[in-house]
Every structure is written in C-alpha cells, then in structure tokens.
Amino acid sequence: MTATLPETRREDTAFKVEQRGISYVPDDERWARPRDLCGMWAGASFQFEYLVYGAVLMTFGFTFAQAAFLIVVGNLSYLLLGVCSLQGPDAGTTVFIINRAPFGPNGTRLSALFNWATQVGFETEGLILVVFEGVALATKAGYHAGTPLKVVLIIIAAALQTILPFLGYATLVKVLRVLIIPFAVLYIILAVLTLDKINLSSVQHGADWRTMMGGLAFTITLAGLGWVENGNDYSRYLPRESSRRSIVGWVFLGTAVPEVLLMLLGAAVATYVQIDGKDPFNSFPHAFSGWFLVPFFIIAILQLFSINSMDIYSSGVTLQALGLPVKRWNAVLIDTIIGCGITIYAVFSAGFSRLLSDFVAAVIAWIAPWMAIFLVDWFLRRTRYVPHELQRTDPGGLYWRHHGIHWPAIIAQVLGTAASVLAFEQEFYVGPIARAFGNGGADFSVFSGIIVGGLAYWLLAGPRVRREADVQDRMLASGWQEDPATTA
C-alpha cells in the first residue's frame, strides 16, 4: 500500500530550480508515487536510441527471430532497475550517498567517478544522434552539412538538453509524462509504415550461440543494467512506506515494455534497410515514406533531449557525491560543457557503432560487479539503512570503517571488474575466458562480473555487515533515522 502524505512544503516544485542535491529528503517532502516513476521512465523510453539499438543488434548477423529473443530476454534486466530503485525511499537520498554503506564515504568516490563518466558517455551518445538527425534534416532541405554546422548543432543541442535537469526532478516527471502520447503515436505510425516491408528471411542462417552471448551482453547493458546506478536518484522522493512491489512493477512497465517494442521495430527495419554503422541516420530515411521524414526527425530530437535530461540529472548529483563543492544545478552546467566537448571530438573521430560497442564494454566492466556488491550489501543489512549515518563523512559514522573506505567492497569491485574483462568478446579485445569457448569466443562479461563481484563481497564483508545490521536495527528502533544531518 502506498503511504498517504500529509500536507507539506515543497522544495522541489515543477518549473522551478530544484535546490536539493544529495542531502536527505525529509518525510514531509516525499511527494512522489510509484506510478510517477512509470510516467517518467516511459517518457524517456519512447525514443530513437532504442530503435537504433535494435537495428545495430541485427548487424551482429542475427536472424530476426534471434534478435527478437535477445531483445525480450535482455530487457528483463529492467527488473534489476526496479530492485535498484527500492533503496531510495528508505535512505531518502541519491545512489552514491547510499553507496557509502557498502563502500564507505571515501570509498564510494571511486564508484561515483565511474558512474559520472558513464553518464557523460550516455549524454555524448545522445548528442551524437541529435547531430546526425540535424544533418539529415539539413540534407533534406538541400543544405550541405559541413563541420561548422555540426559544431553549431552540438552547442545548441547541449544547451537545450540542459533545461530539464537544470530545473530538477519534479520538472522531469511532469514533462516526460506528457511526452508519452506524442512519442507513442510517432512509433505507431512508423510501425504501420514498416509492416509491409519487413523481410524476415533477410538473414537465412543467423549467428551461433557465441555471438548470441555477445548480443545478450549488448542488450542487457543498454537496457536495465545501464540504468541500475541511477534508479534511486529518482525514487528518493517516494515515502519510505511505498510498496516495493509497486515500485518494481511500475518501473518495469515504464521501461521494458516500450523498449522491447521499439527495439523490435528497429530490428524489423534492419531486415529491409542496410544499416550504416558510422551514421545510422543515413539508413533510416529509406525506412519510410518521404513525407514522414521531417516530423519523425523533429520529434526524435525531442526524445533524445528527454533521455539525456535524465543522464545529466544523475551525473550532476553524482558529481556532488564525488565531493565537488557545487550546487546540483552548477554540476549540471559543468557536465553539459564537458559532454559537449567530448561530443565534438567523437562526431569527427569514429563510427557510431564502434563507439557504442567500446562504450558498452566499459560500462559492463564496472556496473555489473558494482550492482552485485550494492544489492548483496543491502540484503546483508536486511534491506535497511540509517539515513542519518549515510549523510555523515566523519570518523564517528557507522559506515566510516578504515579512513572512510570499506576495503572488502573495493577488493570485490576489482575482482568483479577483472572477471568481466577476462570474459570480454569485443572487437578490440577477447579475454581468455571468452577465448576458451573457441571460434571467436563467447562474451560472458555481464554474468562473470555479477557473480564474482557479489560472491567476493559476501565472503569478505558478510560477517561485519551483519554486525552492522544489528547496530542499525537498534539505532532505527530508537528513532535515529529522524531528521538526519543534511551535510554530505
């Protein structure tokens, strides 16, 4: 059952700059409901990136049936995002402040650095696609898109996508929920235009199980696994009594369902259109009637802004968790400038598919073991935290350990990351675990990272964390969780 909130003051109000960063959200400001997560995630999920992911998946050499299987199974990983959104209502803060429980206040900075780089990477990917769309529109209008236009497009796009995260969470929820209907209508029209062109026999024999493993790693990472490190940034405004089943269910409904449909549509387009890995937009104009091209690209640009808004919001609070003494909205501006610079380099340096493949590998290497450590720690401490102690960064804190670092978590992260890398099957590197399966190797990086990272943490930290859980229970029983300090 969802908690009933009292009449409250609201620091976080739509279309006003959210002042709160990583500090605790008091009970009387928990205004959100689990269904709000569904609307927000769905508004970000109905967008062009997932159409591209489905099309790029077909470049692995899969039949449509194989790609469809991988898309459905890979998007089940959004259940992980739902589970990784359950800590925010209890802790009342963002992911990498909660991460002080397993890693320590100083140890969490390493994970936060990895996450910040990941979010900037996703922002860059979105900006690259915006530039491709802008170039396609310019070409349609008969204008040659040279270097100056591309640079101008990047700068304008970077500025526009800053607006929603600059304003904050309440604005994101309201705007993304409104965008669901026009986004859904767009893809229904595209699906209708695609149905009579699909060539399900375009690939006769498909790929072997080794390539299937690589495709599964690709899909899982770009689906739920790629978002697990952000979930609690958006669930912290839910009352702590919110139904956990509702949170997981609404998150899954708002993410997996639209993304399965869009990736299937992208894979279907790739059965009758040759996908250009360097610039996917060179391919999609051939997928539907000319009259639909301009409205499609215009709305697709808006969609990319919507999902990039969530990346920038999370990268901003992650930058604060790193210890940078800036306000949340200052961090948004910093990340936007950095992302803009990286995008300018990326647009003129490499093919999109190659960049995407390399980026996915980097994301797997740290997120898979990190997620396992984060969840194992949560279960070991009986799915509870002491919010006051999470906000402490002094030696007297419950989660302080040795100089603010919980070394078992660091060791487990290193071991899990090594296990992921050793199981890579990528264009630039094939690890010994992957090579052991012969004929090009098989990518087990997601699974090896999760298993090794989680098991290592359970063995190394289990006894101590269970003792901490006993201390937590006594502190919570005494009302310790009320009115925690706001200094992070």
- Flag whether 384 is in a domain: no
In the block, residue with structure tokens 């289990």: 462
Answer for the pair 88, 238: CB distance below 8 angstroms, yes or no: yes
Count of structural domains, the chain: 1
152 vs 86, residue with greater confidence: 86
Q: What is the pLDDT of residues 318-343, one digit of tens each?
A: 988 988 888 888 888 888 888 888 88
- Flag whether 98 is in a domain: yes
Q: How far apart are CA 199 and CA 67, in angstroms?
A: 14
What integer pLDDT is reported at residue 5 of this predicted model?
Answer: 40
Residue 378: closest CA among 100, 32, 1, 106:
100
Mean pLDDT of 400-424: 95
**DSSP letter assigned to residue 161:** T
Is the model's pLDDT at 48 over the cut of 90?
Answer: no
Q: What is the pLDDT of residues 256-267, one digit of tens each?
A: 999 999 999 999
- Flag whether 38 is in a domain: yes
What integer pLDDT is reported at residue 3 of this predicted model?
Answer: 40
What integer pLDDT is reported at residue 59 of this predicted model?
Answer: 86
Is the model's pLDDT at 482 over the cut of 70?
Answer: no
Residue 268: closest CA among 328, 330, 187:
187
- Flag whether 43 is in a domain: yes
Answer for the pair 169, 15: CB distance below 8 angstroms, yes or no: no
- Flag whether 421 is in a domain: no
- Flag whether 19 is in a domain: no
Within 8 A by CB and 6+ apart from 320, the residues are 21, 22, 326, 328, 331, 488
Specify the pTM.
0.87
What CATH code is carried by the domain that includes residue 314? 1.10.4160.10
Q: What is the pLDDT of residues 340-360, one digit of tens each?
A: 888 887 777 655 556 656 666
Structure tokens at 481: 């969780």
In the block, residue with structure tokens 């869009």: 262
Amino acid at 103: F
Is the model's pLDDT at 186 over the cut of 80?
Answer: yes
Q: Across 88-102, 168-182, 195-209, which has the greatest mean pLDDT?
A: 88-102
Band (146; pLDDT cuts 50, 70, 90): confident
Mean pLDDT of 172-200: 85
The percentage of the chain sitting over the pLDDT mark of 70, rounded to a whole number, equals 89
What integer pLDDT is reported at residue 68 of this predicted model?
Answer: 95
Q: How far apart are CA 386 and CA 90, in angstroms?
A: 9
Beta bridge partners of 425: 430
Mean pLDDT of 182-191: 85
Mean pLDDT of 107-135: 85
Q: For helices 352-380 and 445-477, give the axis angle rounded to 10 degrees.
A: 40
4 vs 122, residue with greater confidence: 122
Is the model's pLDDT at 142 over the cut of 80?
Answer: no
Mean pLDDT of 459-468: 97
Is the model's pLDDT at 2 over the cut of 60?
Answer: no
- Flag whether 155 is in a domain: yes
Question: What range defines the domain where residue 142 resides?
Answer: 27-357
What integer pLDDT is reported at residue 7 of this predicted model?
Answer: 42
Residue 98: closest CA among 363, 389, 430:
389
Q: How far apart are CA 414 and CA 156, in angstroms?
A: 39
Q: Please, what is the average pLDDT of the chain? A: 85
What integer pLDDT is reported at residue 51 of this predicted model?
Answer: 87
**DSSP letter assigned to residue 279:** -
Is the model's pLDDT at 208 over the cut of 70?
Answer: yes
Answer for the pair 449, 417: CB distance below 8 angstroms, yes or no: yes
Within 8 A by CB and 6+ apart from 291, the residues are none
Structure tokens at 236: 């912290």
What integer pLDDT is reported at residue 356 of this predicted model?
Answer: 59
CB count in 10 Å sphere of residue 149: 15
Q: How many residues would you count in the chain?
A: 488
Q: How far apart are CA 24 and CA 473, in angstroms?
A: 19
Residue 51: closest CA among 331, 352, 261, 297:
261
Report how far Cα 435 is from the mean position of its chain's Cα atoms. 29
In the block, residue with structure tokens 């997601």: 446
Band (417; pLDDT cuts 50, 70, 90): very high
- Flag whether 380 is in a domain: no
What integer pLDDT is reported at residue 173 of this predicted model?
Answer: 87
